[in-house]
Amino acid sequence: MNTHEARLAAFRRTLVAAGLDGFVVPLCDEHMSEYVGAYARRLEWLTGFAGSAGTAVVLRDSATMFVDGRYTLQVRDQVDARFYGFEQVPAVSIAGWLGANAPADARIGYDPWLHTRGWVDAVTRALAPNGGTLVAVAANPVDAVWDDRPAPSAAPAVPHPLEFAGVAGADKCAAVAAWLGTQGGDAVVIAALDSVAWLFNMRGADVDRTPVALAFALVHADGTADLFIAPEKVTPDLIAHLGAGVRVLGRDQFVPALASLAGKRVAVDPDRSVAAIFQALDGATIVPLLDPTIVPKAVKNPVEIAGQRAAQARDGAAEVRFLQWLEETAPAGTLNELSASNRLEGERRATNALIDLSFDTISGAGPNGAIVHYRAEEATNRTLAPNSVYLVDSGGQYRDGTTDITRTVWIGPGAPPALLCDRFTRVLKGHIALARAVFPAGTNGAQLDVLARQFLWAAGLDYAHGTGHGVGSFLAVHEGPQRIAKAQGGQAGTGHELLPGMIVSNEPGYYLAGEYGIRIENLVLVESRTIAGAEGAFMGFETLTHVPLDRRLIDLALLEPAERGWVDGYHARVRALLAPLLDGAALAWLEAATAPL
- Name the amino acid, one letter, at 255: V
Q: In angstroms, rounded to a whole number, what is the distance separating the alpha carbons of residues 157 and 401?
A: 18
The residue count for the chain? 597
- What are the domain boundaries of the chain? 3-145, 158-291, 299-593
Per-residue burial over 72-105, b = 16 or more CB atoms within 10 Å of its CB, e = otherwise: bbbbbebbeeebbeebebeeebbbebbbeebeee
In CATH terms, the superfamily for domain 299-593 is Creatinase/methionine aminopeptidase superfamily (3.90.230.10)
pLDDT at 494: 64
Contact indicator for 46, 67 with CB cutoff of 8 Å: no
Question: Diameter of the chain by CA atoms?
Answer: 73
Question: Would you state the torsion angle of the CA atoms of residues 149, 151, 155, 159, taken in this order, to the nearest 10 degrees?
Answer: 100
pLDDT at 373: 87
Phi, psi of 203 (to 5 degrees): -130, 170
Residues of the chain with pLDDT under 50: 489-492
Q: In angstroms, rounded to a whole number, what is the distance separating the alpha carbons of residues 162 and 148?
A: 40
Contact indicator for 49, 79 with CB cutoff of 8 Å: yes
Q: How far is CA 12 from CA 57, 104, 138, in A?
A: 11, 18, 17
Sign of the C-alpha dihedral, residues 204, 206, 209, 212?
A: negative
A 10 A CB-CB count for 561 gives 7
Q: In angstroms, rounded to a whole number, what is the distance separating the alpha carbons of residues 14 and 8?
A: 10
Task: Give the HSE-up count for residue 33: Cα atoms under 13 Å, Cβ half-sphere.
Answer: 30
β-pairing, 265-268 with 187-190? Answer: parallel
- Bridge partners of residue 85, in order along the sequence: 64
Coil, helix or strand at residue 383: strand
A 10 A CB-CB count for 391 gives 27
CB-based burial label for 310 (10 Å; 0-12, 13-18, 19+) = middle
Q: Do 3-145 and 158-291 agree at the fold level?
A: yes
pLDDT at 493: 53
Q: Considering just the CA atoms, what is the radius of gyration of the chain in Å?
A: 24
Q: Would you say domain 158-291 falls under CATH 3.40.350.10?
A: yes
pLDDT at 491: 44
Contact indicator for 586, 320 with CB cutoff of 8 Å: yes
Q: In angstroms, rounded to a whole number, what is the distance separating the alpha carbons of residues 68 and 295?
A: 26
Contact indicator for 549, 567 with CB cutoff of 8 Å: yes
Nearest to 199 by CA among 226, 163, 233, 239: 226
β-pairing, 225-229 with 215-220? Answer: antiparallel
Domain 3-145 CATH class label = alpha beta
